[in-house]
């Protein structure tokens, strides 16, 4: 469901017991919390200890918005195990609170943090409705010309996501599935790291993209990744392309399961690099097909000064793990 942020509190089925969000250098991290002022009993705000001045400022503003309902916790980008322990706080704090849902603003969690949180909730099975909210960007890379758009640079590590190791057998060939977004450099690094026998490249479907402008930018970066692959003769004859929804996790799940089913005798690794809503779809697919491994490319540098501007709309997706 997509709606104006200002109307969000009026459409929720039950009170919010716990609001969860991640402080970021992006102003988008504040948008949903501002729209839900007075609508939640508790707020748990995560922060990155390596974050710079912009993220610290946003955290302070988020804490002020939540007032005495707020508490904070650390998520270390370089320590997934510590991240999982910290994310358990969501379950623990919700259990202490009043009846109601857990609302998770997934907008500015990293893909890896979101996937680990999903796994924590899957294992803990809290007896509550989980509402995931996502605010898209009006514009990306606001400090560059359209031809020079960049969101991140460099890759320090490509690693499997904690909680989604899959079941990879040395005797089987490897099928790598990449849901391509704007960060084409990271997509290339993942392909180089795995050197797959078969590669599937996904692009957001035009009618299922956040906006037409985003689709056109995504297509440009998708084509750049395709050209990179074409230069690698070992892969050029083993590449398939597909489209997926950037806004509907269940639709993404269905498409991804179909893509994986094309090569049932291969080991499968999936790297989600598009919207956080599509990453939820990847998590749903991996929940159903546990032989699939999920991976993440850790960026070295982000375009903190001009990463994005926030939309005034939110898309919500609700589910239960119990």
Does 117 share its domain with 40?
yes
Find the CATH number of the domain harbouring 263: 3.40.50.620
How big, in percent rounded to 5, are the helix, strand and coil portions of the chain? 40, 30, 35
Does 110 share its domain with 165?
no
Whether residue 124 is contained in a domain is answered as yes
Whether residue 189 is contained in a domain is answered as yes
Does 102 share its domain with 173?
no
Does 160 share its domain with 287?
yes
Does 232 share its domain with 116?
no
Whether residue 87 is contained in a domain is answered as yes
Whether residue 283 is contained in a domain is answered as yes
Does 289 share its domain with 314?
no
Q: CA-CA distance, 163 to 151, in Å (whole number)?
A: 27
Range of the structural domain that residue 198 is part of? 152-302
Whether residue 267 is contained in a domain is answered as yes
User: What confidence score (pLDDT) does residue 235 get?
Assistant: 67
User: How close are the terminal C-alpha atoms of the chain, in Å?
Assistant: 22
Whether residue 147 is contained in a domain is answered as no
Does 135 share its domain with 211?
no
Whether residue 196 is contained in a domain is answered as yes
- Structural domain count, the chain: 2
Find the CATH number of the domain harbouring 85: 3.40.50.11700
Does 92 share its domain with 23?
yes
Does 294 share its domain with 314?
no
- Strand order in 267-272's β-sheet? 152-160, 293-302, 267-272, 174-179, 198-204, 239-244
Does 35 share its domain with 85?
yes
Per-residue pLDDT in tens (0 to 9) along the chain, 322 residues: 889 999 998 889 899 999 999 999 999 999 999 999 989 999 999 998 887 889 999 999 999 999 999 999 999 989 999 999 999 999 999 999 999 999 999 999 999 999 999 999 999 999 999 999 999 887 888 788 777 778 888 899 999 999 999 999 999 999 999 999 988 899 999 999 999 999 999 999 998 888 787 788 889 889 999 999 988 766 656 899 999 999 999 999 999 999 999 999 999 999 999 999 999 999 999 999 999 999 999 999 888 787 888 789 999 999 999 8
Whether residue 146 is contained in a domain is answered as no
Radius of gyration of the chain (CA): 19
Does 32 share its domain with 160?
no
- Strand order in 101-105's β-sheet? 2-4, 313-319, 130-134, 101-105, 16-22, 40-47, 70-74
pTM of the model: 0.94
Does 45 share its domain with 107?
yes
């Amino acid at each position: 469901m997509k709606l104006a942020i200002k109307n969000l509190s009026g459409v929720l089925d039950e009170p919010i017991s716990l609001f969860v969000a991640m402080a970021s250098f992006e102003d988008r991290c504040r948008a949903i919390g501002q729209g839900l002022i007075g609508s939640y009993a508790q707020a748990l705000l995560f922060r990155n200890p390596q974050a710079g001045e912009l993220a610290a400022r946003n955290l302070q503003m988020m804490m002020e918005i939540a007032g005495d309902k707020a508490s904070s916790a650390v998520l270390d980008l370089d320590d997934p195990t510590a991240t999982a322990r910290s994310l358990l706080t969501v379950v623990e704090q919700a259990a202490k609170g009043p009846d109601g849902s857990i609302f998770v603003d997934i907008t500015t969690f990293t893909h890896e943090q979101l996937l680990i949180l999903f796994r924590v909730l899957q294992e803990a099975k809290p007896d509550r409705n989980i509402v995931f909210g996502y605010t898209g960007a009006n514009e990306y890379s606001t400090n560059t010309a359209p031809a020079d758009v960049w969101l991140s640079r460099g890759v320090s590590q490509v690693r499997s996501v904690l909680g989604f190791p899959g079941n990879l057998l040395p005797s089987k060939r490897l099928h790598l599935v990449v849901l391509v977004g704007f960060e084409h450099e990271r997509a290339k690094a993942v392909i180089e790291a795995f050197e797959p026998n078969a590669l599937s490249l996904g692009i957001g479907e035009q009618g299922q993209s956040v906006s037409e402008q985003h689709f056109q930018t995504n297509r440009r970066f998708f084509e750049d990744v395709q050209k990179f692959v074409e230069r690698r003769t070992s892969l050029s004859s083993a590449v398939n392309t597909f489209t997926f929804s950037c806004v509907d996790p269940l639709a993404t799940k269905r498409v991804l399961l179909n893509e994986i089913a094309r090569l049932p005798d291969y080991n499968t690794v999936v790297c989600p690099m598009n919207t956080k809503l599509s990453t939820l779809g990847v998590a749903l697919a991996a929940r159903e097909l546990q032989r699939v491994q999920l991976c993440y490319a850790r960026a070295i540098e982000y375009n903190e000064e001009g990463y994005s501007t926030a939309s005034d709309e939110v898309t919500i997706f609700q589910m239960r793990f119990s």
